[in-house]
Each structure stands twice: as C-alpha cells, then as structure tokens.
Amino acid sequence: MLAHLPLILLAQATTTPAPPQPAPAEQPDAGRLGTAQQSGGGSGDIVVTARRRSETVQTVPIAISVLGGQALADVGAYNVNRITQLQPSLQFYSTNPRNSAANIRGLGAPFGLTNDGIEQGVGIYVDQVYYSRIASATFDFTDTDRIEILRGPQGTLYGKNTTAGAINIYTRKANLTGFEGRVELTGGNYGFFQGKASVSGPLIDDKLAIRLSTSITTRQGTIYNTRINEFQNSQDNQSFRGQLLWKPTDTLDLTLYGDYNAQNPRCCVQYYVRTGATQRPLSRQYAALAAAFGYSVPSTNAFDRVTDLDTVPLAKQKLGGTSLVANLDLGAATLTSVTAYRFWDWVPSSDRDFIGLPVTTVSANPSQQSQFSQELRIASNGKHTFDYVAGAFYFYQKIDTQGLQVQGSAASRFLLNPTSANASNPAVLNGLTAVNTIGFTNTSAAVFGKLTWHASDAFQIAGGLRVNYDKKDGSYVSVVTTGAGSATLNSDQRGVLAPQSYAPQFDKWNVSGDITAAYTLTRDIHAYATYARSYKSGGINLSGLPLDGANNPILSAATVKPEQVNHYELGLKTQFFDRRATVNFAAFWTDISDYQATVTNGQLGVLRGYLANAGKVRTRGIEIDSAFRPTSRFSLYANGAFTDAKYVKFVDAPCPPELSGGTTAAAGQTPSAAGTAGGISPQNCDISGQRLPGVSKWAFSYGAEYDIPLRIAGTDGQIYLGYDGSYRSKFSSNPSPSAYTNIDGYALSNFRLGFKTKDSFNVFGWVRNAFDQDYYEVLAIQSGSTGLVVGQPADPRTYGLTVSKSF
C-alpha cells in the first residue's frame, strides 16, 4: 500500500487533470509522505489542488511535495519547523514564534528579527485561507489530511502574491456518510505528552456533517536556568478546531471552519556559545566586560544546556479565526468563495542581552493582529482544449504593537563607546526606557488567472497573469525617558534609545506573470519548462530607523522597494518498473533585484535591525527526488537539493562582527584587519558574491521502511521498522557572513518500531535525533560589538511511545 511509504516526493511535471472538484475528499493514501506510486503497480495517484483544480501529483507542472497526515504523525513532524527534516528545499528558522521565517530555496523572508512592515515570500494557507504572518502558523498540526509544499512563484494561482512558494495545509473533511473518530496519545522523555482526538459524522444524512478535533502538547524545557531554577524552552500548546459541512444540493457545498489555539511556553532562550574578536577596544569586549562585573556564565559549553538569563522568557500567544468556503458547480465551471477572519495576540518577553547581567532588563513587543480576506475564483471543469482558473482577492490587515525596552545598570559599560566619559557611569543608562507605540494597516487587492491550452494530448502551454495593488500605512512613536523620568537625553542616551516619530506609507501597483510549457513523453514521463516574472510587495520599517551622526532618525530609510523576481525552471518527472520507482528532477535559477535584507545600524546600542534593499540576489540549484518499492514489504526514498544562493551585488551591507566596533573609517582611511582591537572599522562592507544566510548548499532527506505480517491475539497486522534521516551542510547565521556565526553541517537520524493493523490501530516506539547530534538552530551576536556569540541549541535525543486508534 502507498500508505506504507515513508516518503517525500517533490513532484514536477506536466498535467493531465483529473475531474475537477472543489477540494479532494480525504484520500486513504494521503496518509503517507506522498508519491504517486503503489505497491504492486497500478496508478495509486494522489490528488492535489496546487493549481486550484484537482490533478494528480505526478502530472502537475509545479515543483511540489505532498506530506500526508498519518506520515507526519509517524515521524513526529507536528509543526512547520519539524517538516524541514523531510523537505530539503524548505528552511525554517525561529528564535520565538514571532521571529520566525519560512524560506524555500533560500528565499522568502529576510534572515533576522521580524519586521511587520513587509510581506513574506512563502505563503501559508490553511484550508485555502492565507495566514499573513508566519508566527500565526506556528501551531501544532491538528487533524491534518495533507500538506502541499509548492516551490517557486505562485502568484497567478493564489490570492496573495507568493514569490518563493506556498505551503498549503488541508485538514480532514467532515464525513457526510457515517461516523468516524481518531485518537492518538504520545508520551516521551522530558515529560513530553501529546494527545490528539477527532470525531466526525452526519447531523443530517448526506446534507449536514460536523467535525471536531483537539490537540494538546506539553513538554518540560530542555534548557535549565540556574538563576530562575526552572527548565526553559518548554512546550505548552492547546488547540481546538471545528467544521460544519452543508451540502444542500448536489451542486452546492458550504464549509464553515473555526479554530482556536493557545500557547504559553517558557520560551525561547538564546545564550552563550563562544566569543570572537571584534574591533572594539579590548576593555570593551566581552571577556573584559564580564570580568569587570565578576561575572561568568554557568557553562561555556552551550550543549550542557544551562543558562542564567535574568529575564523570564515568555512566548504566549492566542490565535484563531473563522472562515466560510463555498463551492458552486455551474456545470462548465466551479465557482469558489473563501471568506475569512483571523486574529493573533502575542505576549512575549525576551532577554535581549543573552546573559545574566542587567544590560537590557526588559525587551518585549506585545502585538495584536487581525485580518480579513475574501477570495473569489472560477475554474473550468473537465479537460478541454482550453482550461482556466481566474480569481479576485482582497485582504486587509491591522496590527497594533506596544513595545517596551528598559536598560539596566550594566548597560553603560556594555553599550557606550569606550571614548565616552559616561561608559563607566551606570546611572547614565540605568532605567533608560523606550515606550514604542506602533500601528500598521495593510491593504492588498488583486485579480489573477491562468489559461491552459492543450495543443495536443501530449503538449500544453499555460500562461498566467496577476495585477496587484498594495498599500501600507504605519505609525511609529518611541518615547524615551531616563531612569529619573526625564525626556531630556544626552547624546549617549540617544545613541542607545533614540526618540522617534514617523508615519511611513507605501502603495504601488504591479503586474506579474508566468508561462509554462509541458510535454508528456509517455504515460509515466513528463517534462516542463517555466518562466515567471513576479514581485514581492514593498514595505515600511516598523522597528525603528537607523540614526545619523547626530543620533536622529534617517527618514529616507522608512520605506523599502518591492523585490523584482525573474524565475526559470526545468522539470522532469519519471516513473518506471510498473510505477514501483519514481525519480524526479528540477533545475531552477532565480534572480532578484532590490532584495529586501535585514541590516543593522552602526551605533553600538542598536538592538534591532531594520530593512533595506540589497542590489541583487541569485539562487540556483538542482533537486533530485526518488522513491522505490522493490517489494510490497519494503520501501525506501532519497531526496536531495543543491542550492547556490548568494548576494550578486550588495556593496553597502553591514559589516560582520569581526569588522565592527572600532572607530569608523573617515574618507581616505584604511580599515584595520578583522579582529584588530581598537582598530578602524569600515563604514559598510561589500559582501557581493557571499552566501545568503540560512541556506545550506547541500541538503538531503532519506529513509526506508520494512514490514512483516504478524498476528497478535487473533488480530492480523504488520510489525514494521522505519528510519528517516536528513543532512544539511554548513550555513551562515548572520545577514553578513561571519566566521563567528557559521553553523556546521549536521546529520539527524530517527527510528521507529511498531505494530499496526489496516486503517485502525497503530503502536510504535520512536527515537529522534537518535545519535544525540549537537547542533544549533540559529546563532546571533550580542549588541554592541562585544564579540559574544549566542545561540539556540536544537533538541537533543528524544524518545517515546505513540498509540493511535481509528474507528
């Protein structure tokens, strides 16, 4: 059965549409990580809706992977972060839910702290509803049918323009014909517990059905805080999801969705990893600063997993919403309407100095977001000489943020320029407080469509077009007062926390499009070629602006221009040996002008980055994905991605820490060598030709599963052994590549051993990161060019037992 394949298959090829339907019914084999193959041969095709119509995964001319809900449970991939181990081209980085980024092929969002004023390049959709912030998608998967991951620009098919790709999450549909239920319980080390349950059935036969599901995840933290005497980086998530499906006629169905999620973990801490030499005077680098306070961290080995941060970490959020999806079959076409409202409330607390000294005692940006969206689409039914999809989309988002930052008694020594007379006076910065009031509205509207011409049974050409309008309005007001409550600041205080008040605006029309030629060589060999011209909306800076020489905001930096994307792709999809083997290829080249990058200000006290346009970025690569089932009992897969992503031109980038912290070079001065204490630092650095952050040049996922028939207590089933592995090569963890923030390559291995019966009962033991690989999710640098490098170690070895039952 396909349901036994522990596989991700990245599908690329031409299209032979299946009969269109508004959304595919739950498929028995969408339960594994998908490919269109089945033991013993036969079609076994998985149906997807990547192009807003139902097509088989092996024939749609888009680079796409399909992750089935049951397989996600088997491998423990219960959120977006964990599916990166299964999908080589997907990158996900997070220091807390708000500061998260999902990238595909190295593109999507700037690496670093999140700025609400820009768009994400990877669209997140749940049951066809666009989630405007990646943070609002950091929930545990609940009652998931499948996940489709599309790579490359998708703006001519989707409501929101998505220049890097899309992640489509589909939950299981309500059952109109009978009662069904699912229960899954998992326990593991670190006090891990996860419980999931769902029930569905008709309220009125064939007319009205309901589906209810819930999930809870708790786990003790993996990092011990010696100061607060608690484990941190814990998990504490609860979610509830409901669905009503009404089918009043054979041609009309309406589905009302509602969901609510609450998370309240002690998360997320970053702490001491190592130090590196900067160009700041030695007396103001980390070792001397810590010694001046008689301070030392509990351990200089981050994988001892202990810290003494003096701020209680919080990552509390509530998110949810409701949506109505209606499908009307008009005969020749299907009309679809998606109306949705969503909210996200965020209550954080972080230790932004990353050590147990009172440098920054408070750093928090509570935020409340709401969004409304309306999409209307029409798609032709059946296969004709010309098939089409056309739609209109409206989106409105509002965000209110209340920022607070307070400096402590150690701030003067850590943050002020050593030449300042105030550098050794704690009172100058102690209690310095910035209260930031931030408002943002985002309005977007678009019309889009795609027309496919079937020139013959084997050859087709599909062209798409999108006309898009974006308008963003913001307000940023920062009121700064001294520890004594005075609003009169000296230059040192303004250099750390500067009063700012500005109201940036951005609005722009753009037109984008794509064209794809696809050819079916044989029933099981498909090829395609795509060119896309796309845009990522411009934006506004809502994290404060850089300062000029007089410590005043540089207002010209308030807006960021749109990215312009030119994308080229070739794909070949093959199956052979009676579809027991699948091997797919994709090659891509993407050029981006005016790339939106996260940069940092030259002032020593800046804690947050801002956005600017780099000159040009290029990513190119090759993806090879394969799956084999030699026998009905044994399956294996191997997927790989080579991604070469670099800055083609970025001549005025921020400098890495080893070239920062010294006296800024004047005209004609030659900067000092990297790491020269008390040296001369360049005003900016040319990082053209260097790698983009967060992107491994090589990434792989691979695995196998073997099962043997077994009868236990009169019940027939299979005992099975499964393995899933992944590898990522070294990548940079700083917007400007630095020798101090490179993360070494690492390999992970996960095992599972269990017994299952057909579509009913499953029990298995599992171990993840089986060889206890030490690796970092992200690295960062402490503000002020002190040379301190901090990081967030990934999970150690975990193990447990999962029991699930369907009825």
pLDDT band, very low/low/confident/very high, at 21 (cuts 50, 70, 90): very low
What is the arithmetic mean of pLDDT over 51-72? Answer: 80
pLDDT band, very low/low/confident/very high, at 80 (cuts 50, 70, 90): confident
The Cα 564–Cα 715 span in angstroms is 59
Q: Looking at 126-130, 327-331, 409-413, 542-546, which range is the least confident one?
A: 542-546
The Cα 161–Cα 465 span in angstroms is 11
pLDDT band, very low/low/confident/very high, at 375 (cuts 50, 70, 90): very high
- The confidence score (pLDDT) of residue 46 equals 65
Contacts of residue 801, defined as CB under 8 A and 6 or more positions apart, other chains included, come to 186, 187, 188, 763, 764, 765, 766
- The confidence score (pLDDT) of residue 58 equals 81
The Cα 705–Cα 728 span in angstroms is 22
- The confidence score (pLDDT) of residue 547 equals 74
pLDDT band, very low/low/confident/very high, at 14 (cuts 50, 70, 90): very low
* pLDDT tens-place string over residues 403-423: 999 999 999 999 987 778 888
- The confidence score (pLDDT) of residue 75 equals 78
What is the arithmetic mean of pLDDT over 760-787? Answer: 94
The Cα 756–Cα 767 span in angstroms is 18
DSSP string, 94-134: ESSSSSEEEEETTBSS-SSS--TTS--SEEEEETTEEESSG
What is the arithmetic mean of pLDDT over 222-236? Answer: 95
DSSP string, 15-43: --PPPP-SSPPPPTTTTSEE-S--TTSS-
- The confidence score (pLDDT) of residue 472 equals 96
Contacts of residue 294, defined as CB under 8 A and 6 or more positions apart, other chains included, come to none
* pLDDT tens-place string over residues 514-523: 999 999 999 9
- The confidence score (pLDDT) of residue 64 equals 87
Exposed / middle / buried, residue 126 (Cβ in 10 Å: 0-12, 13-18, 19+) = buried
- The confidence score (pLDDT) of residue 254 equals 98
* pLDDT tens-place string over residues 38-59: 323 333 466 667 666 677 778 8
274 near 740, Cβ under 8 Å?
A: yes
- The confidence score (pLDDT) of residue 615 equals 86
* pLDDT tens-place string over residues 778-794: 999 998 899 999 999 99
What is the arithmetic mean of pLDDT over 693-700? Answer: 95
Peptide bond between residue 268 and the one before it cis (omega within 30 degrees of 0):
yes
* pLDDT tens-place string over residues 716-756: 999 999 999 999 999 999 888 999 999 999 999 999 999 99
- The confidence score (pLDDT) of residue 609 equals 59
The Cα 9–Cα 16 span in angstroms is 18
The answer on pLDDT for 28 being more than 50 is no
- The confidence score (pLDDT) of residue 94 equals 81
The Cα 762–Cα 752 span in angstroms is 12
The Cα 332–Cα 8 span in angstroms is 34
Distance linking the first and last C-alpha atoms of the chain: 20
What is the arithmetic mean of pLDDT over 146-158? Answer: 86
The Cα 478–Cα 558 span in angstroms is 15
- The confidence score (pLDDT) of residue 42 equals 34
What is the arithmetic mean of pLDDT over 345-373? Answer: 94
- The confidence score (pLDDT) of residue 602 equals 44
Contacts of residue 538, defined as CB under 8 A and 6 or more positions apart, other chains included, come to 118, 470, 472, 506, 508, 559, 560, 561, 562
Q: Looking at 12-16, 211-215, 442-446, 735-739, which range is the least confident one?
A: 12-16
High-pLDDT (> 70) share of the chain, %: 91
Find the angle CA(771)-CA(746)-CA(315) to the nearest 5 degrees.
90
The Cα 90–Cα 78 span in angstroms is 15
The Cα 144–Cα 126 span in angstroms is 10
* pLDDT tens-place string over residues 120-139: 888 889 999 999 877 766 77
The answer on pLDDT for 451 being more than 70 is yes
- The confidence score (pLDDT) of residue 611 equals 78
What is the arithmetic mean of pLDDT over 605-612? Answer: 54
The Cα 763–Cα 757 span in angstroms is 9
The Cα 643–Cα 742 span in angstroms is 17
The answer on pLDDT for 69 being more than 90 is no
Q: How many domains does the chain have?
A: 1
What is the arithmetic mean of pLDDT over 297-321? Answer: 95
Q: Write out the residue range of the structural domain in which residue 762 sits.
A: 2-806
- The confidence score (pLDDT) of residue 420 equals 80
The answer on pLDDT for 341 being more than 80 is yes
Pairing type for strands 165-171 and 122-126 reads: parallel
How far lies 126's CA from each of 34, 317, 365, 736, in Å?
19, 18, 26, 34
pLDDT band, very low/low/confident/very high, at 443 (cuts 50, 70, 90): very high
Q: Looking at 129-133, 329-333, 601-605, 781-785, which range is the least confident one?
A: 601-605
* pLDDT tens-place string over residues 270-295: 999 999 999 999 999 999 999 999 99
The Cα 675–Cα 723 span in angstroms is 45
Phi/psi class of residue 40: alpha, beta or left (left: φ > 0; alpha: ψ in -120 to 50)? left
Q: In DSSP terms, which residues pair with 539 in a beta bridge?
A: 560
pLDDT band, very low/low/confident/very high, at 555 (cuts 50, 70, 90): confident
The Cα 61–Cα 452 span in angstroms is 11
528 near 584, Cβ under 8 Å?
A: no
Q: Which of 542, 561, 533, 537 is nearest to 119 (CA)?
A: 537
What is the arithmetic mean of pLDDT over 483-506? Answer: 92
Q: Looking at 5-9, 68-72, 464-468, 492-496, which range is the least confident one?
A: 5-9
120 near 165, Cβ under 8 Å?
A: no
Q: Kindly report the CATH number assigned to the domain that includes residue 444.
A: 2.40.170.20
* pLDDT tens-place string over residues 621-675: 999 999 999 999 999 999 999 999 999 999 888 899 999 989 888 888 999 999 9
Find the angle CA(675)-CA(735)-CA(623) to the nearest 5 degrees.
125
* Mean per-residue pLDDT over the chain, rounded: 88
The Cα 48–Cα 518 span in angstroms is 18
What is the arithmetic mean of pLDDT over 361-371? Answer: 94
The answer on pLDDT for 397 being more than 80 is yes
